[in-house]
Structure formats: C-alpha cells, structure tokens
Amino acid sequence: MALQAQPNPAHYALAELARRKKGFLTLSQNADGLSQRAQHPSSQIRLLHGSLFDVKCTSFYCNYVEQNFTDPIVPALAIPKGVPQPAPLGTAESGADATDSLSNAMEAATAAKELDISDDRIEIPELDPTDLPQCPKCGDGLLRPGVVWFGEMLPSQTMSDINEWIKNSEKVDLILVIGTSSKVYPAAGYVDEARAKGARVAVINLDRADTPGGMYGLQKGDWFFEGDAGVILPEILKGEIGDISDRAHNRQ
C-alpha cells in the first residue's frame, strides 16, 4: 500500500522549504517513505519511527541494513489472495451457464484481491524458517522492516541528532505541527522544546478536537489551520517556496 501511494503537495512543500531554508529540519513519525520520494533533502529530515523500506537484521550482533523496495521481500511472504469458486455445475440451467460460471471464475482468479490478514478467520499458510528472508551478512538472523515496533526504543542516533540540533539552535522561529494528534512521545514534547527557544506554533490538522486545551497547548500568537495539510501547507508557505502546484503534479 505504501508503494502504491504517492506524495501529496504537503510532502513537496516541506521538501521545497528544506531546500530553500538550510536551518529547517523535518521530524517525521511517518514510515511510508513518501517524504523521501518527494526528494526531501536527506540531511534535513529525521525519521523518528524508521522506514518500511530500510530492511535490517534481527540479530543483536549484526548491523546489516539495506534499502529494499521488493514486494513481497520473499515469495513466501506474499499476502494470500481470495479466488471466488465457480457455481457448482449442478446449479447451472444450461451448458452455457456452466461455461459462463467457469469463465467468470477464471477472470476472478486473474483479478483476485489480497485477503485481509488482520481478520482471524483468514487462514495464513504455515511457513518454514528457510522460506523467510535470511540476512546475507551474518546468515543467522532474519530480515525485518526497519521501523520502530511497539515496545522498542526509538533510533538512538536519530534522537541524538535531534537533541543536538535543538541544543545548538540559539533560536527557533517556528514549529509546524502537521497532521498529528501529538500524543506520542518524545515527538509530542518537541513543541515545548521549540517554545523554550522562542518558537511560535502553527498547527495544521483535520480535527480541532486535538487542539487546546488538548495536546498542543496553543497560546496567544499561535496559529491553527483546520483542514487537509496537502491543501493548506503549500498555500501558507507560498510566500517562501512559491507556487509548487505544477511541480508537485508533474512529479506525481
């Protein structure tokens, strides 16, 4: 699904802002790779929750990491597809009906959709460990997505980079809080850290219910923009990045 998705104008707007403002840094909780595909400068983005397309070894002692866009990463991990069965021949009223039933089933098999494997009624085939993606470096560990799963620590180098950036910034002019409920820490705490450096806050969100007295703690002089970030962000940044509508459309 992430591979089929396309960056929206908000991704392109932030990428353009980063290119024009060398002191700008994006902190992203997204793992979908869309910012990178919008050519956001890699030196000006920090992925707090990792990336689906960074594949790493599960072994504690192995540091193997690669970018991998193969889907599925190995054939055994393909999501099962549902294939409708033809109506029993005994129910067909004629030979033509039976032929149509078989023909329709063959067409359905070609266009079979992936099953919802989150549904516990869907049977998932058992796999042999040898069918799973093996680490090419150590040979002992399996490969896994380079994302932060529940219960795992956030990437230490990323967190260190962010803390150093904040510490070394004499002043922060503005923090944009885009499309997040700001309930997940430590990301949610960066609003207060930016404020301590003098920043004003601009929130772009579909739902005002997430705002103060909610999580953002908006204060006098801050801004709240209610709506789709893909529409709002390019518009409010137009004075700094120009009109990106044509560029974003052409890149998609």
Paired residues of 223 in beta bridges: 202
pLDDT value at residue 213? 46
The pLDDT score that the predictor gives to residue 212 is 45
The tens digit of pLDDT for each residue in 184-214 reads 888 888 999 999 999 999 999 988 765 544 5
Place of tokens 């950036």: 165
pLDDT the model gives residue 216: 57
Q: Which fold has domain 9-49+148-251?
A: Rossmann fold (3.40.50)
Catalytic residue (choose from 11, 40, 49, 249): 49
Sites in the chain below the pLDDT cut of 50? 87, 89-90, 92, 212-213
Binding-site sequence positions for Zn(2+): 57, 62, 135, 138
Alpha-carbon Rg for the chain, nearest whole angstrom, is 24
Contact (CB, 8 A) for 112 and 81: yes
* pLDDT for res 180: 86
Alpha carbons 147 and 145: distance in angstroms, whole number: 6
Tokens of 188: 């949610």
Catalytic residue status for 49: yes
Sorted by where each begins, the domain ranges of the chain are: 9-49+148-251, 75-145
Residue 51's pLDDT is what?
A: 94
Cα angle: 150, vertex 177, 67; to 5 degrees? 50
pLDDT score, position 164: 94
List the beta strands (DSSP E) in the chain.
Answer: 26-28, 45-47, 50-57, 65-67, 81-82, 113-114, 143-147, 174-178, 200-205, 223-226
